[in-house]
Structure 1
Amino acid sequence: MADRGRGTAPDDRVPDVGRAGGRDERPPVTRLDGRLLVPALSAWAVLTALLPRPVEVSAGVGLACLGLALAAAGWRRAARSPPRHRARPAGPGVRGLLSLTLAATGLVCTGASAHLATDRAGPVGAWAEERAVVSVEGVVTTEPRVVSRGDERTDLVVLHARLSVVRGRGVVSAVRTPVLVMANAGEGWEDLSWRGSVRTTGRLRPPEPGERHVAVLTPVGAPQHRAEPSGLLAGVDHVRDRFRSAVQPLPADARGLVPGLVIGDTSLTPEDLTEAMRATGMTHLSAVSGSNVAMICGALALLVARLGVRRRWRTPLVLLGLVAFVLLCRPEPSVLRAGVMGSVGLLALSSGRRRVSLPALAVAVVGLLCVDPWLARSYGFALSTLATLGLVLWSRPWGDAIAARLPRRISLLGDAVAVPLAAQVACAPVIVLLQGSVTTVAVVANLLAAPLVAPTTVLGVVAAVVSPFSVPLARLVAWAAALPAWLIGRVARACAELPWGTLDWVDGVAGAWLLTGVTLVVLLTGPWWRHQLGRRPWAGWGMLAGAVALLWPDPRLTAWPPPGWVVIGCDVGQGDAVLLRSGPSSAVLVDTGPDPDPVRRCLRDAGVDRLDALLLSHFHADHVAGLQGLDGMPVAVAYVSPVRDPAASATDTLRHLSDVGVPVVELRAGEGVVAGGARLETLSPGPRPVVGESAANNGSLVVDARVGGLAVLLTGDLEPEGARSVRPVVEARDYDVLKVAHHGSARQDDDLVVGTDAEVALIGVGVDNDFGHPAPRTLDLLRDAGMVVLRTDLDGDVAVSTVGEHLVVHRRR
C-alpha cells in the first residue's frame, strides 16, 4: 500500500533547481497569493474618487457596498451545498473575490465618512466661508515649519492643529476640527510643541478643495495660552531636543541626514541636497521610510537574539521597540505608513514568511486607509505601497537570477542590486508623474548608498538613546554616524551631476501610463527575450534595440524648448519669471523669481544666451531675488517700476544692476520700447500710483507685449485697485496670452481678466505653497472665460508657440 506521507505535497511550493556558481541552495521558491490585492486596490481607487465629495456620498457608497458584500456572502454560502443531483456552481473564487472587494470598499468608505463627519461637524466650515473672527482652543498635530514669503514681509509659521473649542458669533461649540494655522514668525508660534495645547484668536478662511483641513486660521498675534505635552510625550520631546543638540556640530549634509534617517526631522537638510536626492531616487533615505523601519526591526531582532531572549518574547520586544521608534519619529500618517510598510517589507525578504507578504500588503493598505482616509490621495503612500509591492514580487527572484550569474564570492550582490531595482521599477510611473523624467542612476545611487544607511541609522538611534543622559557622549556617537551620512550625501550629489542621469519622458498622466505599459511589456516578454539573446545573440540584441527605439517616446514629444516657442513661463517656485522670444537666441525676461538657480536653468534650457531687455515688474523678492542668476549673461537694459517699494529690496536690486553694468530705465504708463523683435508698451503705473492694500503690488509694471505675432498682457502682482485704471485700455484690445496677476490669488479684477479675451492664462506658482495660490475662484474665473490654464506648480516650465494662426501650449511635465 502506498505511503500517503510520501510524494509531492499538495502545497504551493516548488523545488529549487540550484544555481550556478556553487551557491548554497535557498529554501524552496514560494508562489505568492495576490488575490487580496484586487479588493485592496479597488477600495483605494474608489476612496480616492470619493474623498472630495460630500460626506453623504461616501457614506452611501460604503453602506451599499457592505450590504452587497453581505448579500454576496450569503449567496456564496448557499451555493456551497447544492443538491446532490446538481453540479457545484462554477467560479466560487470569483464570487468570493467580489464579496471581498465590496467588503473592503465598504469598510474604507464608511470609515472615511465617519472621519469626515467628525472633522466637519460644527460651525467651523460655515464660519470659514464667512471669514469669521473666532477664538479657538486646540492641540498642535504637526511640527511648526517656518516658510519664507518670498518678499520683504515677515516669514510664516505653518502648522496643523485639531480644534477642540471654538467661540464665535455668540456661540461656543465643542468640535474635533482639523485646521491649517498660518501665523507670522517671531510671535512664538514656531516654539510650539507637537501635541501641545494652544489658545488663540484669529480669522478663518476656506481651504483649497480636496484638502484634509476644514479651514485655514490666521491668528492675531501670539498664542494666548500654551500647555506643553506631559508624561510620555514630554519625554519624547526631550529626547528629540537633546538629539538635535548632539548633531549640531556635524557637517551640513550629515547634520541634515542623521536626524532625517533617525527621527524623521528633515528641517536641517540643505535644500540642494534635497534636490539631489530627489533627482537620484534617494528621497526615501532622507526621512523615515519603510526601509528604515525594516532596518530598525532587523537590528532589534538580532540584538534580542544575541542577548539570549527566549523565542516567544522576541517578537513582542521587537514590536515594543518599533512602537518606541514610531513615538520618537512622531506617529503622524507618514510615519505610521512607513512602520506598516516596513513590516510588510520584512515579510517579503523573509524566506519562511514570504507567502503571506502579498495578503499582508493588501491588509495593510485597507487598514491604513481606514485609519487615515487621506492617505488615498498621498503620493507618499502610493510610492511606499508600490515599493513594497516591488520588493514582494521581484526582489527574491531577481536577486537569485543575478546571483546565479556572479562568482560565488560576490553572489551576495544579487540581493543588493535586486532590492533597489525592484523598488525603482515599481515606483517609476509615479515618479514620472511627479518629475516628468526617468532616472537612470537611481539603482546605482541606492546600491552605493545601501551599505551606508545601516550604520548611519543604527548609530544615529544609539546617539538618540544616549542623548537624554549625556549630550557630549551622544555627540561622539553622532560623529561616528556622520561619516556614512556624509558619504550618502556625496553619492547623491555626484550621481545628480552625471550626464544622462535623467531622461525626459512624456509628461503627466499619459507619461505614467506609457511607462507602466512599457514596464509590463518588458516584464511579460522578459523570458522570451532572454531565450532569444541566449540562442541568437546578435539577432536578439538587434530586436531588443528595435523594441527600445519603437517604445521610447519621440524626442519631439519631450524636447525642450518646443520649436517655434514665443512665450515660456519658467518654473521658479513661488514667484514669476517669463521669457518672451525676441531673437533666435535672445529674449526679454520678465522678472527673475525668488532664487538664482531656477531662472538660470530656465534660460539655459531655453537656449537663451543674451537678454535684449530685463523687465522687473516690482521689487518684491519673489520677482527680483533671482537676479544673480543672470550674472555672466549679457543684458542690454533693465526696465523697472518707478515705485521703489519695498525700499530695501529696491535699493539692493538697483545696486546689483549698477555693479554689473546694466543700464536701468524707469517705465511709466504710455511709454513704449523695442527690445529685439519684441515691442513693449507700459499701461501702468501712471503718474499717481495707486496704493490700495499694497503699494508695491499696485506699482507693478503692466505691459502690453507684442512678440512673435502674439499679444501678451503681463500684469505683475497687480491688485484690483490698480487694475481699474488699466481696464479701459485692456478691454479695447484683444490678447492671446494673459500672465495672471499675483500668482493666481483670489484678489483679481474679474472684468479685467474677462476683458483680455485671452486664449491662454499663465500662472507662476510654487508647489504646495502656503498662500493657497492659485485660488479656486480664480481658476474658475479663467476657465469660465474659455482660457487654457498653464500653472508652473503642476506643469513645470510651460510654453506657447504658434502653428500658422493657431496657438499651441506645451507643458514640460
Structure 2
Amino acid sequence: MAGADLRLPVLGAAAWAGGLLAALAVEDALAAGVCAAVGTAAAGGLTLSLGGARRLGVVAVAVVLAAVALVGVLRDQRVAQSPVATLADRRAAVTVTGTVASDPHVVHGPFGTTVMVRLTVRRVETRGSAIGLRAPVLVLGDDGWRRLPLGATVQVDGRLGPARHPDEAAVLTPRRPARVVRAPGVWWRGAAAVRASIRGAVAHRPVEQRSLVPALVDGDDADVPDALAQDFRTTGLTHLLAVSGTNLTLLVGFLVVLARWCGVRGRWLYVVGGLGIAGFVLLARTEPSVVRAAAMGAVGLLAMGANGRQRALRGLGAAVLGLMLVDPSLAASAGFALSVLATAGILLLGPPWRDALARWLPRWVAEAIAVPTAAQLACTPIVAAISGQVSLAAVGANLLAEPAVGPATVLGLAAGLLGLVWGPAGSLVGTLASWCVAWIVLVAHRGAALPAAAVGWGTGAGALVVLTLATVAIGVLGPRLVRHRALGAGCCLVLVVGAFVRLPTPGWPPAGWVLVVCDVGQGDALVLRTGPGSAVVVDAGPDPAPVRRCLDGLGIRTVPLLVLTHFHADHVDGIAGVLAGRRVEAVETTRLADPPFGVEEVDRAAAGAGLGVSRAAYGSTRQIGDVTLQVLWPLPDSPTTGPGDGSTANEASVVLLAVTHGLRLLLTGDIEPEGQVVLARQLTGLQVDVLKIPHHGSRYQDESWLLSLDPDVAIASVGADNDYGHPARETLEPLARGGAQVYRTDRDGTVAVTAHAGRPRVVTR
C-alpha cells in the first residue's frame, strides 16, 4: 500500500468509531463519556506533537468522530423523546397513520406466530387530539400484516408500548386489522411486480432452486429451507442469501456492460450506473441493510475502472463516512461490519495474496483464490462472534460456487423482467438460472458434510482477541509464505486436509459416555448413546448449528430414533442440524400437535429427509442398541389438538425413562407441575440416577416429586442470560441439598454422563 491515499479510509474509520461511541452512549453514558474524554486528550496531545498537514489530519479525524457521535446521540434522543415515545411510556390506546416501511418478518414464539413490520408513523390520534410527526414504530401484528404491501399507507388502532431498540420510538400492538388508506406508489408496485415475476419464473423448479434464485437476485430468502440455510452458514456462503454489495455489483455491472454494447459512453455510463443502483434499492427494499449493500456495491463498481483499487479505497472511506452521517446506528450492526470488512479485505489483502500466488499459478487462478481468502480472513472474527464457529470450508466453497453466482444472479433478474412481458420466456430463462444455483446448492451440501467443515470457537472477549490477532497475522504474513511454490502448495494442502479430517479433541467424548446434554443455548438437545457412532437424540434445540456441532463432536452418524418432546421452537427449530449429514431412521413426537408452526417445521424437515413423523406411544418399551427406552407421558387419552398458541404444549411433553449400562435416566422435556403430580401418583417409588430437570429448571415444579426421584445427577439445559429466570434457585437448591450433583449448561457447557460400576460420573466441556 506504499503511496496509497488513505485519507478518506481513515476518515471513514473515524466515522465508524463515532457511531460506535454513540451506540455506547445509549447503553452506558458514563462509559461513553470516559471513552470520549480519553480520546479527546489523546487527540489533543497528538495534535500538539505534530505539525502542518499531519496536525490538520488529526483535527479532521477528531471532528468527524465527534460529528458522527453527536449525530447519533441526537438521532437517538429525537426518537426516544418523540411524542410517540411519551405515549408509549403511558401505554396509550391510539390510532396511527403511517407507511409500511419493511417487509413482514415472521417470528414463531412459544405462544404463537407474530408478524413484525416497521411502520413510519405520520399521524397519531389519542383522546380526541391528533399529532403530526415522523417516527419509526415496530408493529407486532397477526398474519394479516403479511399481506400489506411495502409503501402502503395504513391506519390502525392499537396500544403503544415502550420500544425494544433505540431505532424505534415505540412498539404497537394492533387491536383490529389495519385499513389501507393509500396504495403504494408506482415505483413500489413496479418493484413488487418484478419480485413476484422472479419467483414465478422459477416456481416450477425444485424447492431449493426456486428459493435460492430470488435470494441471489434481491435478497428474498423467505422460502429458503432451514437445512439449506444451515449448510450455507457452515460453508461460509451465507452472504449469498442476503442483499449484499456483490448482488449490486453483478447486476449494475451487467447493466453498464450492456449500455456499452449499446453505444453509451462517458458520463452517461455513470447515469446508467446511478439508475441501476436506484432500481436495485427499490427492488431489494430501502431498508438499512439494502442501503448498506448499495454503498458497498458502488465501491465494487469503482474497483472495475482504471486505477480501481485506489478509487475503491477512497470510495469505501466515503461510503462509510456517508452512511455514518445518515444512520450512525449502522456502526453496531454485524451486517455493516461484515460488508465493510469484506470489501476492505478484498481491496487491502487481496492484491498481495494474488501477486504472491501468481508467481507460480496462472494469474486468473491466483485471483480466484485470493478474493475469497481475503474476504473470509477479514470477516472471520465477526462471523465467529455471531456463530461461535470458524469455517474451514469457506474459502474452498466460495471458490467453487463463485463461477455460478454471476450467471445465476443475472439470469434470475432477466427471467423476472421477461416474465412481465411473456411468462413462458421468463420460465425458460428461470430454468437456466436454477441450473446455475443447483451447482451452488451442491457445493453447500457437500461442503457442509465434510468432517471438519467448521470448528467451534468461543465467543468470549479473550477467544475473539486471539482469533483477530491470528487472522491479522495470516493476512499480513501469508503472502510471504504462499509466494513460494512448495510452501504455497503445502498451505493449500493443510487447508484441504483440515476440512476433510476432523482434528482430535483430547478427552472428548469421554470413554464410556451414555448421555450427553448438549449446550445449545436456551433449549434442549440430549444424546443417548446406543452404540458406536449411533445414538437416540431427544430434542434438537433452538438452532441447527449447536446441535450439529455437538453430534459431530460425538461422532454420531446414525440416529435410529429422534424424539421431539413437544413442538416449541427451543426444542424443534434445530432439527435440520440433526438431519444434516446423518442417517435418521425414525422421528417421534408428542400427541399434541401444537403450536402449529412447530408442527409444520417438523413435518417439513422430516419430509425433506424422506421420513414420516409418528406419535410416541404411551407405555411402549423398546430396546435400541444399548438403551432400553420407555414412554411415560403423555397419557393415551390426552388431547391431540390445542388452542394454537402453544400455551399447553409443555404439559404434553414426551417423558422418557432410559436404562443403559446399569443407569436409570429420566428425560422430562418441559412437563409442568400438574403432569408431575400425575406421574408421582402413577410411578410410586420411582428413583433414577440421572434427572434432566423439567423446563430448563423453571421455578414451577412439584418439588416433592423431584426430590422423591433421589437423583445422583441433575442437569438443567439452559441458555446463558436468558429472560425467563431459568434455572431458578428454588429448584436447584433443594436438589443439591438432597444429595444431587447439579449441573447447568449455561455455566458448565456440554455435560456428559459416564457409567462406572453402575454409578454416574460427569465430564463437562
User: Per the shorter chain, which TM-score range?
Assistant: 0.7 to 0.9
Name the counterpart of 1:159.
117
The residue type equivalent to 1:507 in the other structure is G
Name the counterpart of 1:319.
274
- Match runs of 1:402-421 below 5 Å: 402-406=357-361, 410-421=362-373
- Alignment of 1:189 with 2:140, yes or no, is no
> In 1, Cα distance between the equivalents of 2:421 and 2:371?
37
Match of 1:391 among 343, 346, 353: 346
- Alignment of 1:444 with 2:444, yes or no, is no
The residue type equivalent to 1:268 in the other structure is D
Shift in CA distance, 719/467, structure 1 to aligned 2, threshold 3 Å: same
Q: Contact between 2:18 and 2:67, CA under 8 Å: does it hold in 1?
A: no
Name the counterpart of 2:5.
33
Name the counterpart of 1:362.
317
Note the residue ranges of structure 1 that are not aligned, 5 or more in a row. Answer: 1-28, 80-88, 668-674, 728-732, 766-773
Deviates more, 1:694-703 or 1:330-339: 694-703
Secondary structure, aligned partner of 1:778: coil
> In 2, Cα distance between the equivalents of 1:544 and 1:271?
31
> In 2, Cα distance between the equivalents of 1:483 and 1:542?
35
> In 1, Cα distance between the equivalents of 2:729 and 2:266?
65
Q: Contact between 2:385 and 2:464, CA under 8 Å: does it hold in 1?
A: yes
> In 1, Cα distance between the equivalents of 2:79 and 2:570?
35
Deviation at 1:116, TM superposition (A): 1.5
Secondary structure, aligned partner of 2:267: helix
Deviations 1:289-325, CA, capped at 9 Å, x for gaps: 1122222332233233333334132212221222122
Shift in CA distance, 469/332, structure 1 to aligned 2, threshold 3 Å: same
Computed over aligned residues only, the root mean square deviation of the Cα atoms, in angstroms, reads: 5.9
Shift in CA distance, 645/285, structure 1 to aligned 2, threshold 3 Å: closer
Q: Contact between 2:123 and 2:132, CA under 8 Å: does it hold in 1?
A: yes
> In 1, Cα distance between the equivalents of 2:38 and 2:541?
52
Match of 1:697 among 650, 658, 664: 650
Shift in CA distance, 280/351, structure 1 to aligned 2, threshold 3 Å: farther
> In 2, Cα distance between the equivalents of 1:355 and 1:676?
65
Name the counterpart of 2:458.
507
Secondary structure, aligned partner of 1:249: coil
Q: Contact between 2:197 and 2:417, CA under 8 Å: does it hold in 1?
A: no
Shift in CA distance, 466/701, structure 1 to aligned 2, threshold 3 Å: closer
Q: Contact between 1:566 and 1:799, CA under 8 Å: does it hold in 2?
A: no
Shift in CA distance, 99/560, structure 1 to aligned 2, threshold 3 Å: farther
Secondary structure, aligned partner of 1:253: helix
- Alignment of 1:178 with 2:136, yes or no, is yes
Name the counterpart of 2:16.
44
> In 1, Cα distance between the equivalents of 2:579 and 2:495?
42
Deviations 1:276-298, CA, capped at 9 Å, x for gaps: 22222222233331122222332
- Alignment of 1:465 with 2:422, yes or no, is no
TM-score (norm 2): 0.73
The residue type equivalent to 1:106 in the other structure is A
Shift in CA distance, 710/781, structure 1 to aligned 2, threshold 3 Å: farther
> In 1, Cα distance between the equivalents of 2:324 and 2:743?
35
Deviation at 1:340, TM superposition (A): 1.0
Q: Contact between 1:62 and 1:108, CA under 8 Å: does it hold in 2?
A: no
Shift in CA distance, 801/358, structure 1 to aligned 2, threshold 3 Å: farther
The residue type equivalent to 1:417 in the other structure is I
Q: Contact between 1:582 and 1:677, CA under 8 Å: does it hold in 2?
A: yes
- Alignment of 1:304 with 2:304, yes or no, is no
Deviation at 1:578, TM superposition (A): 3.1
Deviation at 1:191, TM superposition (A): 0.9
Shift in CA distance, 501/343, structure 1 to aligned 2, threshold 3 Å: farther
Deviation at 1:328, TM superposition (A): 1.6
Q: Contact between 1:737 and 1:762, CA under 8 Å: does it hold in 2?
A: no
Deviation at 1:59, TM superposition (A): 13
The residue type equivalent to 1:367 in the other structure is G
Match of 1:121 among 61, 71, 81: 81
The residue type equivalent to 1:306 in the other structure is W
Secondary structure, aligned partner of 1:412: helix
Name the counterpart of 1:17.
none
Deviations 1:388-428, CA, capped at 9 Å, x for gaps: 0111113233333333423xxx5333322222222122222
TM-score (norm 1): 0.70
Shift in CA distance, 119/682, structure 1 to aligned 2, threshold 3 Å: farther
The residue type equivalent to 2:650 in the other structure is N
Shift in CA distance, 290/129, structure 1 to aligned 2, threshold 3 Å: same
> In 2, Cα distance between the equivalents of 1:194 and 1:335?
14
The residue type equivalent to 1:697 in the other structure is N
Aligned-residue sequence identity (percent) comes to 35
> In 2, Cα distance between the equivalents of 1:547 and 1:456?
28
Shift in CA distance, 275/161, structure 1 to aligned 2, threshold 3 Å: same
- For the pair shown, the structure with the greater C-alpha radius of gyration is 1
Q: Contact between 2:524 and 2:540, CA under 8 Å: does it hold in 1?
A: yes
Name the counterpart of 2:59.
99
Match of 2:469 among 512, 517, 524: 517
Q: Contact between 2:515 and 2:528, CA under 8 Å: does it hold in 1?
A: yes
> In 2, Cα distance between the equivalents of 1:119 and 1:202?
20
Deviations 1:95-121, CA, capped at 9 Å, x for gaps: 445423322322222222232223223
Q: Contact between 1:258 and 1:482, CA under 8 Å: does it hold in 2?
A: yes
Deviation at 1:266, TM superposition (A): 1.6
Shift in CA distance, 464/514, structure 1 to aligned 2, threshold 3 Å: same
Deviation at 1:355, TM superposition (A): 2.3
Note the residue ranges of structure 2 that are not aligned, 5 or more in a row. Answer: 681-686, 708-712, 734-741
Name the counterpart of 1:22.
none
> In 2, Cα distance between the equivalents of 1:254 and 1:484?
9
Deviation at 1:36, TM superposition (A): 4.9
Q: Contact between 2:349 and 2:476, CA under 8 Å: does it hold in 1?
A: no
The residue type equivalent to 1:266 in the other structure is D
Shift in CA distance, 481/69, structure 1 to aligned 2, threshold 3 Å: farther
> In 1, Cα distance between the equivalents of 2:562 and 2:287?
46
The residue type equivalent to 1:275 in the other structure is Q
Deviates more, 1:124-133 or 1:441-450: 124-133
Secondary structure, aligned partner of 2:141: strand
Match of 1:778 among 719, 725, 743: 725
Name the counterpart of 1:20.
none
Name the counterpart of 1:426.
378
Deviation at 1:700, TM superposition (A): 5.1
Name the counterpart of 2:525.
577
The residue type equivalent to 1:576 in the other structure is D
Deviation at 1:387, TM superposition (A): 0.9
Name the counterpart of 1:672.
none
> In 2, Cα distance between the equivalents of 1:268 and 1:739?
36
- Match runs of 1:614-629 below 5 Å: 623=571
- Alignment of 1:237 with 2:192, yes or no, is yes
The residue type equivalent to 2:464 in the other structure is A
The residue type equivalent to 1:100 in the other structure is A
Shift in CA distance, 205/250, structure 1 to aligned 2, threshold 3 Å: same
Match of 2:213 among 258, 272, 280: 258
> In 2, Cα distance between the equivalents of 1:709 and 1:39?
67
Shift in CA distance, 763/165, structure 1 to aligned 2, threshold 3 Å: farther
> In 2, Cα distance between the equivalents of 1:174 and 1:740?
51
Secondary structure, aligned partner of 2:149: coil
Q: Contact between 1:148 and 1:156, CA under 8 Å: does it hold in 2?
A: yes
Shift in CA distance, 202/581, structure 1 to aligned 2, threshold 3 Å: farther
> In 2, Cα distance between the equivalents of 1:118 and 1:723?
51
Shift in CA distance, 438/558, structure 1 to aligned 2, threshold 3 Å: farther
Q: Contact between 1:464 and 1:474, CA under 8 Å: does it hold in 2?
A: yes
Deviation at 1:341, TM superposition (A): 1.1
Q: Contact between 2:657 and 2:664, CA under 8 Å: does it hold in 1?
A: yes
Secondary structure, aligned partner of 1:458: helix
